[in-house]
Chains A and B, each alone.
Chain A
Amino acid sequence: MTQQHSGEVLLAVNNLKTYFNTDDGVVRSVDGVTFHIKKGETLAVVGESGSGKSVTSLTVMRLIPMPPGQIAGGEILFTGKDGVQKNLVNVSEAEMRKIRGNDISMIFQEPMTSLNPVYTVGDQIAEAVMLHQGKTRKEAMDVATDMLRFVGIPAPEKRVHEYPHQMSGGMRQRVMIAMALSCKPALLIADEPTTALDVTIQAQILDLMRNLQKEVGMSILFITHNLGVVAEMADRVVVMYGGRVVEEGDVIEIFKAPRHPYTMGLLNSIPRPSEEEHAHVPGQPKKRLEAIPGNVPNPLTLPPGCTFEPRCKFALPQCSQGVPALEDTGGGHMARCIRWREFEAASPDRAHAVQHIGPGGEVNA
């Protein structure tokens, strides 16, 4: 999975803040998010529901409804097809429209509702082609047919004239992908593209995306909360919690040597059938999953310090004092925890070993 990338940064998000003014107060959905994507690379963003994954991606697309939304700060530096770097926070709406669908495309979680039910899929694909590439309707329809073929839809000449409701969920997601790729974007943002699909269909789609990326060479910002999918798709991973990036790093680093308690908790709370000790042997007491206690924080009443502090079993009193910095733990691996060094020391590559670090205490290794 780890390909050799040119190392050129396509998108750099620095200290991005997106707030929503609601009746009950200001929701800081994205509160100082920083990350970057290189050309041709797949960056996965994981995190719990409400952690700000979608808002981050929508902010990059400048599709946040304003009001109530508001970009409260930060920058989004993007180098488009024309090679000019722009700060997407500042560009005009007209310019942004040229970027959307052309330089950056997006596919969404709900394939069932993300397509307009009253237009044929061909129309919907051709629409963007006509807009961005100045093609005639007929040419654009040909492009649409080609794109459908490209994403593996059988009999595309026929399907191009069909309506979304005539297709299954997996097919619709393929149509979405075809639409997103129709203008050969430099960056594809995929917001949980397989969450609503069955595993067998999910496998089809993930397979498709991987193949397409190889062919087209675009970068992918892949948003999900399924760690299995992350493991399969990503080159690098950004872990978000409570509107902030809590950890960032190479996919293997993140899975093998997490430096943030939330990442560790997440990894522990999912079943790993491949690992012997997890499996249940008849006759013996069943094994248990390790759960992160507590609830996802209410975005209106985020804790003042580390947002994970109330659920963190390693929390120290100082954790609630101030927001910990996102520190580089070496090799581009970043973590937002004041105790990351202890975790690193305790276990160079196994998250599970960290269990013997006492709650709020010293490492008793």
Chain B
Amino acid sequence: MLPFIIKRILASIPVLLLSSALIFFIIQAAPGDFLTPLKLSPVDTSAQVAALTKQFGLDKPVWQQYFIWLGNMLTGNLGLSFAYQQPVADIAFPRILNSIWLVLLNLVLFYPIAIALGVYGAVRQYSFGDKLSSVILYFLLGFPSFFLALIVIFLVLQVRFATGWDIPLNGMYSDNHDSLSAFGKFWDYLSHMLLPALVLTLISLAGFTRVLRGLMLDQLNADYVRTARSKGLSHNRVIYKHALRNAILPFVAGIGGLLPGLISGAGFVEVVFAYPGITPMLLNAITTQDLYLIAGFNMVTLFLLLIGNALSDILLAVVDPRIKYA
């Protein structure tokens, strides 16, 4: 197993280099650089622009900049963000962590609901409930996330007005967070993340649920399910112990994709909820062309993708005994 994973990681190095280079050169090829907005200042800033251009190395040829950055990368240094003048890792990491919490909560909400609905849809195929749930899921799926998020905020605000409940609207915790007990802190985080996580869950529910339903249908027709029934097992045991376990396998293979999804997934919902995740920071970095921040973030995503893939291989091997590694 371990050699296998090491091999996998080694094999991904070209991809790693290629995609970082791709990002780097695209950003460079686009007009403007980090200093563009500074040029617009009505105060004369040309001397400063020149100085900063030199300081940031923006006057060097692109490939040189890339190799300088790559060199830093290899020593574990993702470079300095132009905007923050801080190591990329230092500023991006807390944001990534916040995103991870949010997406984790989303997953905690998402999987039980999706699995329940998917199983229901398969067991009661073509029933009224099956059809109704698919229509509702597709309806939710159609909402652009930013739109649904705004609707939710608006509704919550109205509820707040109507009831006076202190439902959090944005951010990650309340002002009095530090004075709370450990449990209070936990609840504070949870209550802040609940709404954005719920929005994420709602809009993404359809995809997984429908696929799971299809896989469940396949599994329910499988021979071993018939065997399980012939042993006298109860309906639920047959479905949840035998069929579901197999239907879930393809998703376990996809769990690796979740990790990078964890950090880049919450997307616009973070923006609209003013949640301190990575997306708002990254969108900002893209508009200001904060080169190293973008490239550094991309590297982090890639690393996570690699780790994630390795992880899903391990997991798959755990849940699916048929998988063997040479």
The residues of A with any CB-CB pair to B shorter than 8 Å are 61, 63, 96-102, 105-106, 108, 110, 113-120, 124, 127-128, 131-132, 163, 165-166, 176, 179
**Of the candidates A100, A102, A105, A116, which one forms a contact with B224 in the assembled complex, judged by CB atoms under 8 Å apart?**
A116
CB distance B233 to A97 under 8 Å?
yes
Find chain A residues with CB under 8 A from B222 CB: 113
Find chain B residues with CB under 8 A from A165 CB: 321-322
Query: Top 4 closest A-B pairs, CB basis?
Result: A100-B232, A101-B231, A101-B232, A163-B321
CB distance B231 to A116 under 8 Å?
no
Identify the closest chain B residue to A118 (Cβ). B245
- B258 CB to closest chain A CB, in angstroms? 21
Identify the closest chain B residue to A98 (Cβ). B232
CB distance B230 to A61 under 8 Å?
yes
- A335 CB to closest chain B CB, in angstroms? 32
CB distance B246 to A127 under 8 Å?
no
Complex CA distance for A118 and B233, rounded to whole angstroms:
17
- A302 CB to closest chain B CB, in angstroms? 25
Find chain A residues with CB under 8 A from B320 CB: 117-118
- B267 CB to closest chain A CB, in angstroms? 34
**Of the candidates A99, A100, A124, which one forms a contact with B229 in the assembled complex, judged by CB atoms under 8 Å apart?**
A100
Identify the closest chain A residue to B219 (Cβ). A116
Complex CA distance for A113 and B224, rounded to whole angstroms:
6
**Of the candidates A114, A118, A131, A176, which one forms a contact with B232 in the assembled complex, judged by CB atoms under 8 Å apart?**
A131
**Of the candidates B232, B234, B246, B319, which one forms a contact with A116 in the assembled complex, judged by CB atoms under 8 Å apart?**
B246
CB distance B233 to A131 under 8 Å?
yes
Find chain B residues with CB under 8 A from A106 CB: 227, 230
Complex CA distance for A113 and B249, rounded to whole angstroms:
16
CB distance A102 to B232 under 8 Å?
yes
CB distance A116 to B227 under 8 Å?
yes
Majority secondary structure, B binding face:
helix
CB distance B321 to A131 under 8 Å?
no
Interface size class of B (residues with CB under 8 A): 20 to 34
Find chain A residues with CB under 8 A from B249 CB: 118
Find chain A residues with CB under 8 A from B95 CB: none
Q: Does B223 contact A (CB under 8 A)?
A: yes
CB distance B231 to A115 under 8 Å?
no
Given contacts A110-B223, A118-B246, contact A163 B322 (CB under 8 A): yes
Complex CA distance for A34 and B233, rounded to whole angstroms:
28
CB distance A115 to B227 under 8 Å?
yes
- B284 CB to closest chain A CB, in angstroms? 46
Q: Does B226 contact A (CB under 8 A)?
A: yes
Show 25 A/B contacts (Cβ-Cβ < 8 Å), sorted by A.
Answer: A61-B230, A63-B230, A97-B232, A97-B233, A97-B234, A98-B232, A100-B230, A101-B232, A105-B231, A114-B227, A116-B245, A117-B320, A117-B321, A118-B319, A118-B320, A127-B228, A127-B231, A127-B233, A128-B232, A131-B231, A132-B232, A163-B322, A165-B322, A179-B227, A179-B231
Find chain B residues with CB under 8 A from A96 CB: 232
- A159 CB to closest chain B CB, in angstroms? 14
**Of the candidates B223, B234, B245, B319, which one forms a contact with A114 in the assembled complex, judged by CB atoms under 8 Å apart?**
B223
**Of the candidates B227, B246, B322, which one forms a contact with A176 in the assembled complex, judged by CB atoms under 8 Å apart?**
B227
- B223 CB to closest chain A CB, in angstroms? 4
Find chain A residues with CB under 8 A from B246 CB: 116-118
Near A by CB (< 8 A), chain B positions 199-243 give: 222-224, 226-234, 242
Find chain A residues with CB under 8 A from B232 CB: 96-102, 128, 131-132
Find chain B residues with CB under 8 A from A117 CB: 224, 246, 320-322
- B296 CB to closest chain A CB, in angstroms? 40
- B302 CB to closest chain A CB, in angstroms? 31
Find chain B residues with CB under 8 A from A113 CB: 222-224
Given contacts A116-B246, A117-B320, A117-B322, contact A101 B223 (CB under 8 A): no
**Of the candidates A99, A108, A127, which one forms a contact with B226 in the assembled complex, judged by CB atoms under 8 Å apart?**
A108
- B195 CB to closest chain A CB, in angstroms? 37
Near A by CB (< 8 A), chain B positions 119-169 give: none
- A336 CB to closest chain B CB, in angstroms? 30
Complex CA distance for A117 and B219, rounded to whole angstroms:
12
Complex CA distance for A165 and B322, rounded to whole angstroms:
6
Which among B228, B229, B230, B322 has the greatest number of chain A C-beta atoms within 10 A?
B230
CB distance A114 to B224 under 8 Å?
yes
- B12 CB to closest chain A CB, in angstroms? 28
**Of the candidates B229, B242, B245, B321, which one forms a contact with A63 in the assembled complex, judged by CB atoms under 8 Å apart?**
B229
Find chain B residues with CB under 8 A from A127 CB: 228, 231, 233
Complex CA distance for A96 and B224, rounded to whole angstroms:
19
- B83 CB to closest chain A CB, in angstroms? 50
Which among A96, A110, A116, A132 has the greatest number of chain B C-beta atoms within 10 A?
A116
A106-B227, A118-B249, A118-B320 are known contacts; what are 6 more A-B pairs with Cβ within 8 Å? A100-B232, A105-B230, A115-B224, A117-B246, A118-B246, A132-B232
Q: Contact mask B189-201 → A, CB, 8 Å, 1/0?
A: 0000000000000
Complex CA distance for A63 and B245, rounded to whole angstroms:
21
**Of the candidates A118, A132, A176, which one forms a contact with B321 in the assembled complex, judged by CB atoms under 8 Å apart?**
A118
Find chain A residues with CB under 8 A from B242 CB: 116, 119
Find chain A residues with CB under 8 A from B229 CB: 61, 63, 100
Complex CA distance for A254 and B231, rounded to whole angstroms:
33
Complex CA distance for A179 and B223, rounded to whole angstroms:
15
Identify the closest chain B residue to A58 (Cβ). B226
CB distance B223 to A108 under 8 Å?
yes
Complex CA distance for A163 and B317, rounded to whole angstroms:
13
Find chain B residues with CB under 8 A from A101 CB: 230-233
- B321 CB to closest chain A CB, in angstroms? 4
Given contacts A99-B232, A102-B232, contact A114 B322 (CB under 8 A): no
Identify the closest chain B residue to A100 (Cβ). B232
Complex CA distance for A132 and B234, rounded to whole angstroms:
12
Identify the closest chain A residue to B235 (Cβ). A93
Find chain A residues with CB under 8 A from B228 CB: 116, 127
